Structure 1
């Protein structure tokens, strides 16, 4: 699960970095001293919807692995509660 989430987050961060570079380069061609902060802010705004669309397979894989992890945790919690109640009918 952790690998899928980290891969998705890293892909989103790389997208922001690339867009920042592109916007900064384009802005520097137009304006003499284009602020890097402005390029970064524009990149974040553009990367939000673009990343959702471009990295849909990574997002779906990360979401599926989180759901599987949550289901395992929920099952283990229910088994623990059953053991604490003294129910021996659950055999994992």
Structure 2
């Protein structure tokens, strides 16, 4: 593989860092982690609220309500993370398509 054949990372939407698979995975992991932490916080608040009121709330019920409440709330709270993930996915997909097209072009080139 020559230097010109090597994959070149694309800048993300802000143009500050290259879009590579590890950067994409890190962005997705940060978004998922933030959403899971939000579910844990809401679940803890439900359990704590039940304890303050002298009621025993089953953990599975608190977790179910935590997920239901966190779904729309996470969309609002983590909009910037979601946009970052989406832009990195698009940039990474565009780079993959560019490399695939380049490979197809080289495979069709006569006399290679």
Q: Report the TM-score, using the length of structure 2 for normalisation.
A: 0.74
Matched residues in 1 for 2:57 and 2:70: separation? 20
Q: Report the TM-score, using the length of structure 1 for normalisation.
A: 0.89
SS in 2 for 1:81: helix
Of the candidates 64, 71, 74, which is equivalent to residue 94 of structure 2? 71
Q: How far apart are residue 77 of structure 1 and its match?
A: 0.4
CA deviations 1:65-89 (Å, max 9, x no partner) are 11100000000000011111116xx
| Structure holding more helix per residue | 1
Answering whether residue 69 of structure 2 is matched by residue 23 of structure 1, we say no
Matched residues in 2 for 1:19 and 1:47: separation? 7
Answering whether residue 68 of structure 2 is matched by residue 45 of structure 1, we say yes
Q: CA RMSD in A?
A: 1.5
Of the candidates 20, 24, 29, which is equivalent to residue 6 of structure 1? 29
CA deviations 1:37-81 (Å, max 9, x no partner) are 000000000000000000000000011011100000000000011
- Structure 1: which 5+ runs fail to align? 88-92
Answering whether residue 81 of structure 2 is matched by residue 61 of structure 1, we say no
Q: How far apart are residue 31 of structure 1 and its match?
A: 4.8
Q: How far apart are residue 30 of structure 1 and its match?
A: 3.1
